[in-house]
Amino acid sequence: MALLLNDDDVKDLLTPQLAMRAVRGVIAGFARGDVVAPARVTADLGAGQMTYTTGATAEVYGYRSYDSLAPGKVDQVVTCLDRATRRLKYVHAGSLVGIARTGAIGGVAVDALAAADATSLALIGTGIQAYWQAWAIAATRPLTDVRVYSPTADHRVAFARRLVDRLGLPARSVDHPRDAVDGAQIVVLATTAHEPVVEAGWIADAAHLSSLGAKVPGAAEYDEALLEESFVSTDSLAQLEALTGSTQGVEHLGHHLDPGPDRLRGRRLTFFQSCGLGGTEVALLDALGAAVVAQSPSAQA
């Protein structure tokens, strides 16, 4: 019988190390050709959409589903099936698996692409994903300076306090996006903006940027100058092409997980466009399910 899990079942077992290990394995597997991960698909529900992401590794396969009927956090369903037996192993209902998986992808990207000695992080945006990016990135670099900006002062102050209280990070709010990114070695753009929120000239040489927001040509949270000055990678070429119509000049992160001497590949910056590789959430659920079973041997999976 499949093991049904919710957020309470997994929250104490969910660490950035576990999440990034699971996600990294899928990203690397896709680069080797061992993972199938098509672009997400949607079904029209009239007032919104139902979205499905799916993927298959050599060991497991499954899908994640969620709706956009209203703004805000929504319960998601993630399934994990055994590839050999085609039997359902785990089902998760909640939000943690999907949210943490995206944070973990960002952490893997930073670990692969940011300077090994990076200690400063700029967060542009104070939504759910900004928090989970910090959660993962803090496990890859010893952050000594975290600057937070969003247009609403109360939001950025409260968010910085949350990073201090929950993650123990040296976070502070700033009054302008330039103040956040000036000199930062890692910059995360986690906004809903459809116009650039930072300028290329503000970004320090050799910095790494990750973008989680809109990727519509001419209506994204970054400007084209940033892409032109960067070595650009993504976790899902299929999804990026579905969003932008092109992947010209973009490489898959899975080919660059082990940092080499030429981290920048001849460019001024590195830039990661996070799209959400299918199968990463399935692998994360598989890892969490195994951890739950190991903690409670009587659980049936």
DSSP code, position 282: H
Give me the residue spans of the domains in the chain. 3-99+278-295, 114-273
The pLDDT value given to residue 74: 82
Q: Residues 208-239: pLDDT tens digits?
A: 999 998 777 677 898 889 999 999 999 999 99
CATH topology (fold) of 114-273: Rossmann fold (3.40.50)
Q: For the domain with range 3-99+278-295, which CATH number is right: 3.30.1780.10, 3.40.190.10, 2.40.30.20, 3.50.50.60?
A: 3.30.1780.10
Q: How confident is the model at residue 29 (pLDDT cuts 50, 70, 90)?
A: very high
Confidence class of residue 261 from pLDDT cuts 50, 70 and 90? confident
Q: What's the rounded Cα separation, in Å, for the pair 48 and 247?
A: 27
34 vs 246: which has the higher pLDDT: 34
pLDDT band for position 301 (cuts 50, 70, 90): very low
Least confidently predicted of 42-51, 104-113, 160-169: 42-51
Cβ(263)–Cβ(122) below 8 Å: no
Locate the DSSP E strands across 106-229.
120-124, 145-149, 171-173, 186-189, 208-211, 215-216, 219-220
**β-pair partners for 280:** none
Q: For 271-286, what is each residue's pLDDT tens digit? A: 999 999 999 999 999 9
What confidence category does residue 10 fall into, taking pLDDT thresholds of 50, 70 and 90?
Answer: very high
The dihedrals phi and psi of 259, each to the nearest 5 degrees, come to: -60, 135
Average pLDDT over residues 5-22: 98
